[in-house]
Structure 1
């Protein structure tokens, strides 16, 4: 398959379009400051991802903001720090301010000329419309990570798609759903070696655009 053979992209929101890790790191500073934490930025973020993943089975109960709030509290406990519920709620609200990667808006603008763009990610209802506007997508095209649209025949039929029409665009740490071809976005890597489980690999969304332009010329 070539990049030009797909009809839709299912793009992970966080760490592909939105710089989640930088947003989380900044929002964790009130918790971490004035404490002699020996862990590095990457180690703290790895701990945060671990507690988030452990809470995700409760997503239907907690919602996105609740999940972040509980993750903040559990991270504090794992690090031996004190955290109030108010601090956890403030941390959860920071998700609305997470910034887009610099190349994301332009890449989305280009790619929507060739694909149906679907974004895979969760936000509180109060933040969804603003995120969709920033990404240039319709609200119905922001799909929750609690479902797998590729395994939903009714959704696929209603949208005139088959799993083979859709290319997943994901970060290596995102744990994307199965049942479709995969393009990994490995930000920060000058040379992107293609893993065996991926059909395509790019160092950024801008690199994906460049690869698509090359495919058009073939």
Structure 2
């Protein structure tokens, strides 16, 4: 399908709209200072992602802050360090201040003229409203990672959408490259997949806007 034929975009929150990696790296600095030595940013972030993935089955029990707090504690244990629960919660609460990518607000403003914008991510209830305001979406359009609207017939029916009318805007690390109706946002050349099986492979949300404008002219 062409870009102009989709009715909705399901956009990953973190690493597509929100610069999670920079936020996590900054918030981990007190712990990393205690660790010392030469630290590879990509390796640290890979370890963080691994720990968070392992904790996500407990999301209903822990909540978003709980997952991040336990991730902080488990990273400290991996690195042979001691970290208090207060330090863990401080790390978890840093998520409220993670920055949007520079192109995200303008892209969302443009794209919502043509699509229903759904954002796929998780935040604590007290942070969700402000994030939705920054992204220009309604709170009901912020969908938890614990659910997949593309596989939920009741949600699709209630929202008068079909899976084929929704383009999933995601990142290479999300593991959805082979799925149908996918647009990969590959921020940074080092993150480009060697081969792209997605429908669209582009560099940023700004590039998605540019591709849409080109589609309108055809």
* Greater mean deviation of Cα atoms: 48-57 or 171-180: 171-180
* Greater mean deviation of Cα atoms: 140-149 or 169-178: 169-178
Q: Is the 8 A contact 2:63 2:124 kept in 1?
A: yes
Could you tell me how far apart the structure 1 residues matched to 2:27 and 2:155 are?
Answer: 36
Shift of 1:42: 0.8
Counterpart of 2:51 in structure 1 is 51
Could you tell me how far apart the structure 1 residues matched to 2:179 and 2:159 are?
Answer: 17
Q: Is the 8 A contact 2:177 2:198 kept in 1?
A: no
Counterpart of 1:156 in structure 2 is 156
How many aligned residue pairs are there? 218
Q: Secondary structure at the match of 2:184?
A: strand
Q: Secondary structure at the match of 1:33?
A: helix
Could you tell me how far apart the structure 1 residues matched to 2:139 and 2:3 are?
Answer: 25
The alpha-carbon distance between structure 1 residues 177 and 197, as it changes in their structure 2 partners (threshold 3 A), is: closer
What 5-or-longer segments of structure 2 have no aligned partner? none
RMSD of aligned alpha carbons: 1.8
Counterpart of 2:184 in structure 1 is 184
Shift of 1:36: 1.9
TM-score, scaled to structure 2: 0.95
Q: Is the 8 A contact 2:172 2:193 kept in 1?
A: no
Could you tell me how far apart the structure 2 residues matched to 1:130 and 1:176 are?
Answer: 28
TM-score, scaled to structure 1: 0.95
Structure 1 runs (4+) deviating above 6 angstroms are: none
Shift of 1:171: 1.0
The alpha-carbon distance between structure 1 residues 34 and 61, as it changes in their structure 2 partners (threshold 3 A), is: closer
Residues 13-69 of structure 1 deviation map (CA, whole Å, 9 limit, x = unaligned): 000000000000000011111432433011100000000001111111111000000
Could you tell me how far apart the structure 1 residues matched to 2:84 and 2:206 are?
Answer: 40
Shift of 1:173: 1.3
* Greater mean deviation of Cα atoms: 69-78 or 177-186: 177-186
Q: Secondary structure at the match of 2:119?
A: strand
Could you tell me how far apart the structure 1 residues matched to 2:177 and 2:197 are?
Answer: 12
